[in-house]
Chain A
Amino acid sequence: MDNNRTAIEICNLSKSFGDKKILDNINLKIRQGEFVTLLGPSGCGKTTLLRIIGGFTEPDSGTVLLDGRDISSMPPYRRPLNTVFQRYALFPHLDVFDNVAFGLKIQGLKDDEIDKRVRKMLKMVTLSDYEDRDISSLSGGQQQRVAIARALVNYPKVLLLDEPLSALDLKMRKDMQIELKEIHDKLGITFIYVTHDQEEALTLSDTVVVINEGRIQQTGTPADIYNEPQNSFVADFIGESNILNGKMICDRRVEFAGHAFDCVDEGFGENVPVDVVVRPEDIYIVGQTSAGQFTATVKSRTFKGVHYEMFVETDTGNELMIQDYNSFEPGSEVGLIIKPQDIQVMKKERVCNTFSGRMTDSTHVEMLGGVWECLPQQDLEPGAAVRVEVDFNKVDMVDNLDDGTVTGEAHFILYKGDHYHIDILSDEGWHIYADTTYVWDKGDLIGISILPKDLRISRSDEN
C-alpha cells in the first residue's frame, strides 16, 4: 500500500455557531492508512471537525478533500466514510446481524454476499454467536463491537470514531484500545479518532493532532507531542509536566528556576524569555546534595504504584514535581539533576498583554469594554487609537467583581513552579493573561483592575 498518499485533506476550514468560533482555519493532511487522533479538551472543536468530515455539519468556509476530490458539499449518505458514534447509535429495533447488515442492505447486495460479509466482520470483533441477539441484551463493550462492525462491514475509505470508548469502564477501555489497534493494523483503513483522553491518544495513534479553542496546537507522532511540546498548552495537556519561565542565555544554555543548565535547543537568540518544560520523570533525584546540579527540599510524597510522586521546593523557591522509583522523606534535603536532552525549550507565545484601545481623555483609555484610568498622556488627543501593554504580574485580580474595571472568568490555568499563569476570558470575549501566586480555579469569576502606572500606552499604527 502506498502510505504516502493523502487520504483526507482539510483546507482553511472554519465554523462558527452563533458568535462562537468553533473551528478557526484548520489545515490538516491525513495519510492513507494512518491512525490519527484529534485530541483536545471538551468544547475544543474536535467533534465538530469530525462531524464536518462525516458530512453531518456544514463548514462556514473551507474544503474537505477525499483522495483529492472535494466532498464538502456531498451529503453524508454518499460519502464513502463510516462513523462509530459516541453512544454507539445502534438501531434498537434490529438484532445484531441486521444492525451490521444495514449498510449492505441499503447498497442492495445479494443476501449470500451480505451474510458472508456480516459473519466475517462479527468474527473479527469476536461476536460470532451473537447474530440473533437483541441490542438491549448486550453489554457496553459488546455494543461497541457491533458499532465498529456495522461501520467497517461497508469497507469505508476512512473510519471516523467519535470518543467511542468513553462510555466504557477503565479495564474494558484498555482491552478495546488494543483491539482497535489490531483491527486498524489488519485492515489498513484510515482511522480518524476523536478523544479527550491524552493517554488513549498516545497509545493508539500514528499521529496526534492537539486541538484547543478551535485551532490546531500541534501535530506530530505521540513521542513528538510528549517529548517536544510546542507550547505550554500542549505541555500541560499531555501528561504531567513542570512548566517554568526561563531565559535562553545563548544557544544550548538556558536558565530557569534560578540556575543555568545545558540544553540541546538552539536558535532562540540570546537572553530571550522562554517557557521550559521538564517532565517529572526526567528529574533525577539523589540523596547526596553535593551530587546534584542544585538542591531542593522534599515537601510531600505520594505512592503511585510504580513510582513515588514528590513535590520539592528548590533552593530558589520553585516547586517541581518529580516521579522516581526511590522514595525520599518529606523534609529531607536532596540534590537534583536535569540532563540536557530532557529540557524542552518553547518560544513564549507572549511576554506581556497587548490590548488595542482608544483615549477618551488625557487620563483615561477605553479598552476591553471598560474605561481605565492612566497616567496623563500629553501627546495623545482624545479619540486616538492606542496600543496598551500590561505585564502579566501587574494585572490585579480581585474576588469582588464590583472592584474590577472589567470582569471575566478563569479560562485556563497553568502552574509555573512559583506562580500561576491564568488566561482570563473577559465577559466581552477578550483574553487577559495574569501571573499570580493566589490559587484560582477554572471557571472562577474574577474582577480585573490595573494601576494607572502599569498601563504602557503608545500610539497605535493601525487606525
Chain B
Amino acid sequence: MKRTLARIYVWLLLLLLYAPIIFIMVSSFTEARALGNWTGFSTGLYRSLFEGDMAGAHSLSMAFKNTIFIALVSAAAATALGTTAAIGIHNLRGRIRKSVKMANSVPMLNPDVITGVSLFLLFVFLGISQGYLTVILAHISFCTPYVVLNVMPKLRQMNPNLYEAALDLGASPIRATTKVVLPQLRPGMVSGFIMAFTMSLDDFAVTFFTRGTIGLETLSTYIYADARKGGLTPELRPLMTIIFLVILLLLAVISFKNRKNVNQI
C-alpha cells in the first residue's frame, strides 16, 4: 500500500514537472494556430518549419544559426579555459585551493539577471560595442565554471605520477600535458563541453542584456519577442520539441559516459 502510494506520488510529480513540455510536444503535431486547440494529427508544422514557408522564417533560421554558433564557440572556449583552470586549481594547495574552488562555484549560483546586468555594465564601462563578441564573452564567462566542475574529478582520479612518468621518458612539460594528462581528462572535458553547450543554448537573461542594439537574435530572444507580438508562431512548437529532445539526448550521453567511467574504476 505504502509502495503504491509512493509510486503514485512520484509519477504525479514527474507529470507536473513535464506537463508543460509534453503539452508543447503534443500540440506540435496539430495545425491549429491557437495553442491548446486540436484540429487532428498532422506533421504539417514540422514540414513548414523545415521548408521555411512560414511568416518570419528567415529571421527564425538566423536566430537558430546564431544560437548554435554562439553555443559552439563559447563551449569550445570555455572547455579550453576551464580545463586549464582545473589543472591550475588542482596544483594549488590547502586554503588557496579551497577559496578558488569556492570562487568558481559562485557564478553558477548567481542569478542570471544579475550576471547579465553586471556584464552589460562592464561592457559599457569598457566601451566595447555590444554584439556577437560581447554575447560570446558573456557565455564563456558563465560556462567556464561548469567545465572546471567536470574536469576536477578526473584530475583527482588520475595517478599523480603519470605526468612525472611522461617527463621521465623525455617529454617536455607541454608534451607531457598534451600527450598524457589531457587524454586522461578527455571524458571530463567532453561532459564539460556538452554542459557548457546546453547552458549557452538555453540562456536568455545574459544574452538579452549583452546583445546590444544591432538586432542580434538567438532562439530564446526570438521566441520571447515572437510570443509578445500576439501569440507564438505555431512552427516554434515543433522547434522546441526538437531542441528538448536533442538536449535530452546530450544529457543521456553524459550520464551514460559517467556510468561507464565509474564501472571502469
Q: For the complex, would chain B's binding face be called helix, strand, loop or mixed by DSSP majority?
A: helix
Mask: chain A, 175-198; 1 = CB below 8 Å from B; 0 = not: 000000000000000000000000
Given contacts A93-B183, A93-B184, A136-B264, contact A87 B168 (CB under 8 A): no
Contact B161 A106 (CB under 8 A): no
In A84-107, which residues have CB < 8 Å from any B CB?
Answer: 85-87, 89-93, 102-103, 106-107
B residues 157-181 in Cβ contact with A at 8 Å: 159, 161-162, 164-173, 175-176, 179-180
Contact (Cβ within 8 A) B161 A76: no
Query: What residues of A have a CB within 8 angstroms of the CB of B161 in the complex?
Result: 85-87, 89
Size class of the contact patch on chain B: 20 to 34
Residues of A within 8 A of B183 (CB): 91, 93
Check A150 against B159 for contact (C-beta < 8 Å). no
Q: Nearest-CB distance from B112 to chain A (Å)?
A: 37
Complex Cα–Cα for A77 and B173 (A) = 8
Name the residue of chain A whose CB is nearest to the CB of B164: A56
Distance from A195 Cβ to chain B, minimum over Cβ atoms (Å):
17
Q: Is the CB of B162 within 8 A of A91?
A: yes
B165 contacts across to A, CB distance below 8 A: 83, 85, 89-91
Task: Give the chain A neighbours of B264 by CB distance below 8 A.
Answer: 136
Contacts of B184 in A (CB 8 A): 92-93
* A315-340 to B contact mask, C-beta < 8 Å, 1/0: 00000000000000000000000000
Distance in Å: Cβ of B63 to nearest Cβ of chain A = 40
> A77 to chain B: which residues have CB within 8 Å?
167-173, 176
Which residues of A sit under 8 angstroms from B167, Cβ to Cβ? 55-56, 75-77
Minimal Cβ-Cβ distance residue in B for A94: B183
CB atoms of A106 and B171 under 8 A apart: yes
CA distance A154 to B165 in the complex (A): 13
Residues B98-150 near A (CB distance < 8 A): none
Contacts of A63 in B (CB 8 A): none
A103 and B172 CA atoms in complex are apart in Å by 11
A83-B168 contact given A89-B161, A92-B184, A93-B184, CB 8 Å threshold: yes
Whole-angstrom distance between the Cβ of B157 and the nearest chain A Cβ: 10
CB distance from A48 to the nearest CB of B (A): 14
Contacts of A78 in B (CB 8 A): 170
Interchain residue pairs with CB less than 8 A apart (18): A54-B168, A76-B164, A76-B168, A77-B167, A77-B168, A77-B170, A78-B170, A83-B164, A83-B168, A86-B161, A89-B159, A91-B166, A92-B184, A106-B169, A106-B170, A106-B171, A107-B170, A154-B169
Interface residues of A (CB under 8 A from B): 54-56, 75-78, 81-83, 85-87, 89-93, 102-103, 106-107, 136, 150-151, 154
Known: A102-B166, A151-B168. 12 other contacts (CB 8 A): A76-B168, A77-B168, A77-B170, A81-B168, A82-B169, A83-B165, A83-B168, A85-B164, A89-B165, A92-B184, A106-B170, A106-B171
